[in-house]
Structure 1
Amino acid sequence: MMRASTTWLVLLVLLAFAWLGLPAWPADGAPDLQRWMVYLDGLYLSGYLAIGLMSVAMVLALRMPWLERWVGGLDRAYRLHKSLAEWGIGLALFHYGLRLLVKELRGSGLMVKPKGLASQAVEALRPFHGTAKDWAEWALYLAVALVVVALWRRVPYRWFARLHRLLPATYLVMVYHSVVFLPQGYWQGLGWPAAGLIMALMLFGSVAALMSLFGRVGLRRRVAGEVLEVKQLALDVLELRLKLAPGWPGHESGQFGLATFDSREGAHPFTIASSWKGDGELRFAIKALGDYTRNLPTLLKAGDAAWVEGPYGRFVFADGKPRQIWVGGGIGMTPFLARMQELAQLREAASSALPTAEAPALLAQQVDLFYCTRKGDPDITRRITELAAAAGVNLHVLESTTQGQLSVERLMAMSPQWREASLWFCGPARFGQALREGLLAGGLAAGDFHQEAFEFR
């Protein structure tokens, strides 16, 4: 929901500014002139919106901490990045298609360019028109192909990641095209705010594109590490224990890191399955969901080098509610395992008369955890049960093959004080959407439903 509303907000802001620089319609209302002015308005508006949206998308890809806080987590920043990029490239296609359509209409005599109409081109940039047109045309073809690759899930992630690195280059070509063809109306009178905004966006977007091309994104948040243990668990889950070099700032339970075990494969996002103890160690619990994760058990061994970038994410349980309901679907249990470890450590510290300042509030919080799995493994269920007991969490284990799936009605019945709680969900997107719609319809505030949008493609 936030992604859609934010996308529309960015679109409307850009549209309002773009309107300021449109050429004024002459007093002569001849039909040919009217059609031509409609064409120019469509051409300039679509071009302005396209490069503006792509510029914001490029900046969102920088993984900047302040941007992450603003949109509610890196996972949401990437979803918004994807949405804005798709809109931007779609509008660029419309912009290009409109130009081709009018060219064909003029060739067939169905549309006429009025004589004596003042040119909107900036005279000093006319020598660059040829290259700006040709390069942008090929860049658009490539950008569309790369978007198709990104949306086609059959393409392996490693190929998607490698090809996706070409998009910043196509963006820079489109910036060149936009600067050359920005109408002179944007540099005059009321058009100045529009020119200022779009030039600023293209400047920041170009810096982001260059950082991406030269591998500088997230570099300062990247820490070297070593694999200490590779352990294959049941249900196709791999547990990795890593030791990180000094420089890792620590993480909150529920956050994730971008882990690189092979530079050719690139970084993959994995939720951190352990709380931070300050000893440099962290664990990942990785579900075999694709070719890469399925082969990790045979590719990794103790002593292998690793890089971890982060921490990222705002799925950190910080809302101050007296009650929380956690719902973990399959490997979506990972953030809750880290949180339970943290609570268990706080309870242990409190029992030894060494409580932290935050311990009383956290330990007084009532938590219901629903562990939803198709068919559980006795060893994994036992480990979760023991950890929940140590953390003081009320655990509900639901195996869909024998007990059915967790529904909204069932959750309300098993946790009758749900209206006083916040709900934290991590698992299949459709499952989460069904719970969200049902609980919000029942009276839960939208701000009290938290869902990990763990999708980077």
Structure 2
Amino acid sequence: MLRRQGPLAIATVLLLFIILHLGFPPDAHAPRTTGTTMLGGIAFLLMTSSVILSTRLEIFEDLFGGLDRMYQVHRVAGTFAAIFALVHLFGVPKELPVGVDPVANTLVPSVPLGILGLILLVVGLFIALNRKIRYSRWRPTHKVMALVYVLIIGHFMTAPGIFFERFSASGVLLILAAIIGVVCLVYSIFGMNRRTAVRFTVEAVNALERATEVVLKPVADMIDFKPGQFAFVEVQGKGWSEPHPFTISSAPGEDRLRFTMKVLGDWTRKVREELQPGRDVMVRGPYGRFDAAKTTGKKQIWLAGGIGLTPFASKLRAMQPGDDRQIHLVYAAREKQDAIFLDELKARAAELGNITLIPLFSEEGNFARTDKMRENLPDPLDTYEYFMCGPKPMIEGLMKGLKEEGVSRKNIHTEAFALR
């Protein structure tokens, strides 16, 4: 669930800027100039928020509820930044006020920098939100956003004083934001991957039904993670350059790191067909706050759809006998052959004693819907706390159904990581 602290922090900074900008405008500002430059400032602060979130720092995960939620806010902030920037461009006066020295207040190079930055922002945002573009092509083009950010800084720093008064209260706030943003940008591009990377080697590649399990052996230290977290996996060598996020399916404390990947595209197919033991792999993480152990609810529903089982597999492998929670694991798959680790799940449920496994196979007419859950659960649906991971249409349908059953939104937790 998205925590309010993060979005409230962004909203607070925007509100502070608006108050300072409207409360202490330059003397020569007309209302139109004040309003349109305010929109430009809001767009830049939203861009800065996106840049800051791209650092993946743990403190922001705590504020937003995990990296998956940070990336959701990252995308929303980028979208609204483009909208505000477009309104700013078309609304800002194109001519200097009467009586203003045109030489002392030249618009060059502010105008071309701003127009170029906005064009690249809109194009980059279109590419970022277009899921039809392959990840291998999307990732390098998304880095153009770093250039956009630098161009926008150049745009307002070279703007004539009649539009941007650098030492006004709101101007100082924008400059401080630019300094923080540039530091975060440099860290994201040059420092983050180096700081967080942990080296592993491939020990085994196990082909499952419609999925692949990759077993990694640490070269030195094992990463410290909690059940339900994910990490970025980057296979070293030509043709393997891009990192991909996957949920860790092994349990903390094991001497090997396991990832279970559904075969969805070129990269995961290549893992299944070409990845060999001995290959070096860099793992960066862990990330995420999909933690069922931190809540106070003792009656929990873990609902997994397909490969969405992986965070729950990690949780079950880590769980010890004597856990006082009563957990119903609802596992939805197309058919029994598609249900990975089904025998292991049955054995763990029997061993732990507090787990009730409920397989639902759509080929048999059993779908992950609230009516089926109502049939299989002993108590009313609004008495449970829910943890769900699976295909987006399934999760959205269940969210709607649970709401109709009177389940509070605060009792529904989803793992929603997506880079795009």
Same fold per TM (> 0.5)?
Answer: yes
Return closer, same or farther for 1:114/1:62 CA change in 2, 3 Å cut-off.
closer
- For 1:390, give the aligned amino acid: E
The SS at the match of 1:385 is helix
Return closer, same or farther for 1:252/1:39 CA change in 2, 3 Å cut-off.
same
Return closer, same or farther for 1:299/1:136 CA change in 2, 3 Å cut-off.
farther
Q: Which segments of 5 or more consecutive residues in structure 2 lack a partner in the other structure? A: none
Q: Does 1:179 align with 2:152?
A: no
Q: Which residue of 2 aligns with 1:455?
A: 418
- For 1:397, give the aligned amino acid: P
Cα deviation for residue 379 of structure 1 reads: 7.4
- For 2:349, give the aligned amino acid: A
Q: Which residue of 2 aligns with 1:161?
A: 139
In the aligned structure 1, how far is the partner of 2:165 from the partner of 2:25?
14
The SS at the match of 1:377 is helix
Cα deviation for residue 273 of structure 1 reads: 0.6
Return closer, same or farther for 1:246/1:211 CA change in 2, 3 Å cut-off.
same
In the aligned structure 2, how far is the partner of 1:9 from the partner of 1:97?
29
- For 1:425, give the aligned amino acid: M
Aligned mate of 1:422, from 369, 385, 394: 385
Q: How many residues are aligned here?
A: 413
Q: Which residue of 2 aligns with 1:258?
A: 232
Deviations 1:287-324 (CA, angstroms, capped at 9, x unpaired): 01122112211231111110001111100212132111
Aligned mate of 1:316, from 272, 276, 291: 291
Cα deviation for residue 25 of structure 1 reads: 9.9
Identity among equivalent positions (%) equals 28
In the aligned structure 2, how far is the partner of 1:239 from the partner of 1:11?
42
Return closer, same or farther for 1:8/1:371 CA change in 2, 3 Å cut-off.
same
Q: Which residue of 2 aligns with 1:394?
A: 356
Q: Does 1:58 align with 2:51?
A: yes
Cα deviation for residue 391 of structure 1 reads: 3.5
- For 1:407, give the aligned amino acid: R
More helix by share: 1
Q: Which residue of 2 aligns with 1:115?
A: 98
Q: Are 2:197 and 2:282, in contact at CA under 8 Å, matched by a contact in 1?
A: yes
- The answer to which of 11-20 and 162-171 deviates more is 11-20
Q: Does 1:95 align with 2:65?
A: no
Q: Which residue of 1 aligns with 2:187?
A: 211
- For 1:242, give the aligned amino acid: L
Return closer, same or farther for 1:67/1:185 CA change in 2, 3 Å cut-off.
same
Q: Which residue of 2 aligns with 1:284?
A: 259
Cα deviation for residue 142 of structure 1 reads: 1.9
Q: Are 2:306 and 2:338, in contact at CA under 8 Å, matched by a contact in 1?
A: no
- For 1:269, give the aligned amino acid: P
Q: Does 1:298 align with 2:273?
A: yes
Q: Which residue of 2 aligns with 1:227?
A: 202
Cα deviation for residue 6 of structure 1 reads: 6.3
Deviations 1:47-68 (CA, angstroms, capped at 9, x unpaired): 1011000001100000101111
In the aligned structure 1, how far is the partner of 2:200 from the partner of 2:397?
39
In the aligned structure 1, how far is the partner of 2:141 from the partner of 2:225?
31
In the aligned structure 2, how far is the partner of 1:205 from the partner of 1:64?
14
- The answer to which of 88-97 and 178-187 deviates more is 178-187
In the aligned structure 2, how far is the partner of 1:449 from the partner of 1:312?
20
In the aligned structure 1, how far is the partner of 2:103 from the partner of 2:189?
30
Cα deviation for residue 402 of structure 1 reads: 1.3
Q: Which residue of 2 aligns with 1:356?
A: none
In the aligned structure 2, how far is the partner of 1:451 from the partner of 1:221?
25
Q: Which residue of 2 aligns with 1:342?
A: 318
Q: Which residue of 2 aligns with 1:144?
A: 122
Q: Does 1:37 align with 2:30?
A: yes
Q: Does 1:246 align with 2:239?
A: no
Cα deviation for residue 261 of structure 1 reads: 0.7
The SS at the match of 2:260 is strand
Return closer, same or farther for 1:54/1:122 CA change in 2, 3 Å cut-off.
farther
In the aligned structure 1, how far is the partner of 2:232 from the partner of 2:136?
14
In the aligned structure 2, how far is the partner of 1:83 from the partner of 1:3?
15
In the aligned structure 2, how far is the partner of 1:325 from the partner of 1:289?
27
In the aligned structure 2, how far is the partner of 1:405 from the partner of 1:312?
30
Aligned mate of 1:377, from 315, 326, 337: 337
- For 1:439, give the aligned amino acid: L
Cα deviation for residue 220 of structure 1 reads: 1.9
Cα deviation for residue 378 of structure 1 reads: 7.3
Cα deviation for residue 382 of structure 1 reads: 2.6
Q: Are 2:37 and 2:163, in contact at CA under 8 Å, matched by a contact in 1?
A: no
Q: Are 1:15 and 1:45, in contact at CA under 8 Å, matched by a contact in 2?
A: no
Return closer, same or farther for 1:388/1:58 CA change in 2, 3 Å cut-off.
same
Q: Are 1:229 and 1:301, in contact at CA under 8 Å, matched by a contact in 2?
A: yes
Cα deviation for residue 262 of structure 1 reads: 4.0
The SS at the match of 1:283 is strand
Cα deviation for residue 370 of structure 1 reads: 0.4
- For 2:98, give the aligned amino acid: K
In the aligned structure 1, how far is the partner of 2:371 from the partner of 2:193?
43
The SS at the match of 2:291 is coil
In the aligned structure 2, how far is the partner of 1:396 from the partner of 1:122?
75
Q: Are 1:21 and 1:186, in contact at CA under 8 Å, matched by a contact in 2?
A: no
Deviations 1:68-118 (CA, angstroms, capped at 9, x unpaired): 11100011111111110111122222222334xx54xx8xxxxxx7634x6
Q: Which residue of 1 aligns with 2:326?
A: 366
- For 2:139, give the aligned amino acid: A
- The answer to which of 41-50 and 298-307 deviates more is 41-50
In the aligned structure 1, how far is the partner of 2:303 from the partner of 2:34?
50
Cα deviation for residue 133 of structure 1 reads: 2.2
Within 5 A, what are the aligned runs for 1:186-205? 191-192=168-169, 194-205=170-181
The SS at the match of 1:217 is helix
The SS at the match of 1:89 is helix
Length-normalised TM-score, structure 2:
0.89
In the aligned structure 2, how far is the partner of 1:188 from the partner of 1:146?
28
Return closer, same or farther for 1:391/1:159 CA change in 2, 3 Å cut-off.
farther
Cα deviation for residue 403 of structure 1 reads: 2.3
Aligned mate of 1:436, from 387, 396, 399: 399
Q: Are 1:323 and 1:421, in contact at CA under 8 Å, matched by a contact in 2?
A: yes
- For 2:265, give the aligned amino acid: G
- Looking at CA atoms only, which structure, 1 or 2, has the larger radius of gyration? 1
